[in-house]
Amino acid sequence: NAGVTQTPKFQVLKTGQSMTLQCAQDMNHNSMYWYRQDPGMGLRLIYYSASEGTTDKGEVPNGYNVSRLNKREFSLRLESAAPSQTSVYFCASRGISGAANYGYTFGSGTRLTVV
């Protein structure tokens, strides 16, 4: 049981380049999330998907787009990368409502540097 899998683990982009961060979960979770973590800070929500077919903005959505491809996969796209998007990106999914553990599971993160 892999949990939440993110790819790639590391990426360096030049300003203006685009890329897509991939996330997949194998726990049959309905909701999925993208967070970013900047040095010395907690995580901030970029976008989330409460269920397959829906997406919503979080705290810091500017410069990003998302796609909930199916129940398992939720991707994050940077259309024109900027140095301010240098961060560690975490994908998460949440257990099923009513389950004993209705908690979040996080992937191992993608460390992105924009130069």
Partner 1 sequence: GIQVEQSPPDLILQEGANSTLRCNFSDSVNNLQWFHQNPWGQLINLFYIPSGTKQNGRLSATTVATERYSLLYISSSQTTDSGVYFCAVTNDYKLSFGAGTTVTVRA
> Which residues of the shown chain bind partner 1 in the complex (CB under 8 A)?
31, 33, 40-45, 48, 50, 56, 58-59, 88, 90, 92, 94, 101-106, 108-109, 111
Closest distance of CB 92 from partner 1, Å: 8
β-partners of residue 80 are: none
Cβ atoms 18, 80 nearer than 8 A: yes
Closest distance of CB 80 from partner 1, Å: 26
Cα 46 from Cα 60, distance rounded (Å)? 5
Q: Which CB atom, from 56 or from 79, has the smaller least distance to partner 1?
A: 56
Cα 6 from Cα 59, distance rounded (Å)? 21
